[in-house]
Amino acid sequence: MLKDSVQHVSFRHGEVLFMQGQPSTCLFALSEGMVKICAHTPDGREQIVGLSSRESLLVGLQSMHDERYAYSGIAATDVTACKINHRTLLERVRDRGDLAMRLIEAMNVQLAHSRSLMEVLGHKCAAAKIASFILLMTPKSKKANGGFALPFSRLEIASLLGLTEETVCRLMAGMKREGAIHAPRGRIEIRDWDQLHAIADGKARSNVRT
């Protein structure tokens, strides 16, 4: 039975769920937390290539039939998940249409998040990239008010958005001066939603755009 191949697991911030190059054995369905998807370059650098959050299905493969993980999955926050033997899952999917639909739905959620991230990366303006990233990271429960944890350093944000750390620090400081955000280390509080959306849309009338 499929439930015999599912294990409830938890990871602390910074722990590895799966490592690039290791034999691929499992998928992870996230129930809480956020995971950064990374590629490791030949010189040892870590490049963030994606993010996965609650209700996402973490695969780490280019194809469901790959023998080794193409990426690494590292907990950006504390994480709880279901660890699923993906070979067993594939066998069950062949026989059960309802399970196939649930798998497709889970992958569609991940694709939607990936599309949103690609839209962020598509911005030509560095400030628009950063503002859009902050909006993308905002939990739904925090849309009205209040701050939230941002589990990425300025360097990691720079890596993800294709910017320099200095640029991220300078522009986030500018957004703070403009009153759009308050950004103590490790947290973000959105003070002016209209201003932040204007920056994200490239319509801000201030030097935050540079």
Write out the residue range of the structural domain in which residue 14 sits.
2-120
Cβ neighbour number for residue 108 with a 10 Å cutoff: 11
Question: Across residues 45-56, what is the average pLDDT?
Answer: 75
Q: Residue 38 above 90 pLDDT?
A: no
- Residue 10 shares a structural domain with residue 94: yes
- Residue 25 shares a structural domain with residue 113: yes
Final residue in a domain of this structure, among 82, 98, 120: 120
Per the listing, tokens 């907990």 go with: 75
- Residue 202 shares a structural domain with residue 148: yes
Final residue in a domain of this structure, among 75, 93, 120: 120
- Residue 116 shares a structural domain with residue 189: no
* CATH number of the CATH domain containing 162: 1.10.10.10
User: Mean pLDDT score of the chain, rounded to an integer?
Assistant: 78
- Residue 115 shares a structural domain with residue 199: no
- Residue 22 shares a structural domain with residue 114: yes
How many structural domains does the chain have? 2
Question: Across residues 160-166, what is the average pLDDT?
Answer: 88
pLDDT in tens, 168-207: 999 999 999 999 999 887 889 999 999 999 998 887 655 5
- Residue 21 shares a structural domain with residue 51: yes
Pick 105 or 69 by higher pLDDT: 69
- Residue 35 shares a structural domain with residue 71: yes
pLDDT at 137: 83
Question: Across residues 8-35, what is the average pLDDT?
Answer: 88
Beta strands, E only, the chain: 6-11, 16-18, 26-32, 35-40, 46-52, 57-58, 72-75, 79-85, 147-149, 181-182, 187-190
Contact 175, 135 (CB under 8 A): no
- Residue 24 shares a structural domain with residue 89: yes
pLDDT at 67: 80
- Residue 31 shares a structural domain with residue 104: yes
11 HSE (CA, 13 A, CB side) = 25
Final residue in a domain of this structure, among 120, 145, 163: 120
pTM of the complete model: 0.66
pLDDT at 141: 67
Nearest CA among 116, 133, 128, 123 for reference residue 204:
128
* CATH number of the CATH domain containing 26: 2.60.120.10
- Residue 98 shares a structural domain with residue 164: no
Q: Residue 27 above 90 pLDDT?
A: no
60 HSE (CA, 13 A, CB side) = 30
pLDDT band of residue 149 (cuts 50, 70, 90) is confident
Query: What residues have CB less than 8 Å from 124, skipping those under 6 apart?
Result: none
pLDDT at 127: 92
pLDDT band of residue 114 (cuts 50, 70, 90) is low
